[in-house]
Chains A and B, each alone.
Chain A
Amino acid sequence: MIGLTHYLILSAILFIIGVMGVLMRRNIIVILLSIELILTSVNLNLIAFSHFVNNPTGQVFVFFVLTIAAAEAALGLAILVTLYKNLESINVDDVNQLKG
């Protein structure tokens, strides 16, 4: 019998894979992809709770999270293109202009 715990553990593992991608990679594109993965794991968590509590609110919030994920990807990629035009690089180490 698959219970809520199974989904919570799966969601935690996906979340941590995403966090590791954000913290350990130097490529900004992969970092943005990892953020998408984190949002997906949160969606899985919300839908699992929505299913086991029998309340549609969780699924409505997943709808909003999808909207924000689309917005974040569009703006993040626009910033990334501008950054590449200015720096000729997509590594996070090269983005250090704000360092004191």
Chain B
Amino acid sequence: MGLPEIFFYYFAIMAVVTAGFAVTRPNPVYSVLFLVACFFHVAGLFVLLGAEFLAALQILVQAGALMVLYLFVVFLFNLSEAKSARVVHRQAGFAGIVSLILVALMVIFSVQGVFRGPFRELVRPQTTDNVSFVAGSLFTDFLLPFELASLVLLVVLFGAIVLGKREEGE
């Protein structure tokens, strides 16, 4: 087993374990922290796949900015009440069964080679670095969606301010 396999299995197992902890912890603070660990390991997988730019973005945006935002909101709420309450929903048993059937189907289809096709033999030529690889596509074919993304962020900025604003006389 070579080095890429060892790294893949380390990142994969740790990502699944930390994701499982993040979803099952009763206290949301631990959920957020486990999810940060999960995002770091997924970023490692991105590096293994040759997407260094998106790995950096994953750590900066997802693990850094977003999770800090979540932590702020968690700290705003009264946690003692949330801890005493029942953790799982009434529909948990049925939802768990349906989810397990779904994951079994996805794994079966992946293993049976529906997506295997001609993909395995292709090897990516490392002519350019990853940033120019992505940017070349982003600023030519996807220029309009890129500009629209900035518009979406502006609208979200206004939306969050309007939602968070106190009503008159409150």
> Which residues of A are in contact with B by a Cβ distance under 8 Å?
1-10, 12-21, 23-27, 29-30, 32-34, 36-37, 40, 43-44, 47-54, 56-57, 59-60, 62-64, 66-71, 73-75, 77-82, 84, 89-93
The dominant DSSP class at the B interface is: helix
Give the A-binding residues of B (Cβ under 8 A): 4-5, 8, 12, 15-16, 19-20, 22-23, 28, 31-32, 35, 38-39, 42, 45-46, 48-51, 53-54, 57-58, 61-62, 65-66, 69-70, 73-74, 76-77, 81-82, 85-92, 95-96, 98-100, 102-103, 106-107, 110-111, 113, 115-116, 119-120, 122-125, 130, 133-134, 136-138, 141-142, 145, 149, 152-153, 156-157, 159-160, 163-164
Q: Can you report 13 residue pairs joining A to B where beta carbons are below 8 Å apart?
A: A5-B115, A16-B103, A24-B23, A24-B88, A29-B74, A36-B66, A48-B49, A53-B122, A59-B133, A75-B159, A81-B73, A81-B164, A90-B77
Contacts of B107 in A (CB 8 A): 9, 12-13
- CB pair A70–B153 under 8 Å, yes or no, is yes
Most chain A CB atoms below 10 A, which of B20, B32, B45, B100: B45
Contacts A37-B38, A70-B66, A71-B156: A47 and B54 contacting too (C-beta < 8 A)?
Answer: yes
Q: B5 and A2: CB pair below 8 A?
A: yes
Q: How far does the Cβ of A31 sit from chain B's closest Cβ, in whole Å?
A: 10
Identify the 10 closest CB pairs spanning chains A and B, nearest first: A23-B95, A21-B23, A12-B106, A78-B163, A16-B103, A8-B110, A71-B156, A24-B92, A56-B137, A52-B119
Q: A36-B35, A44-B42, A51-B50 are in contact. Are A27 and B164 (CB under 8 A)?
A: no
Residue from B19, B90, B111, B145 in contact with A5 in the complex, judged by beta carbons closer than 8 Å: B111
Give A93 to B87 CA distance when docked, in angstroms.
11
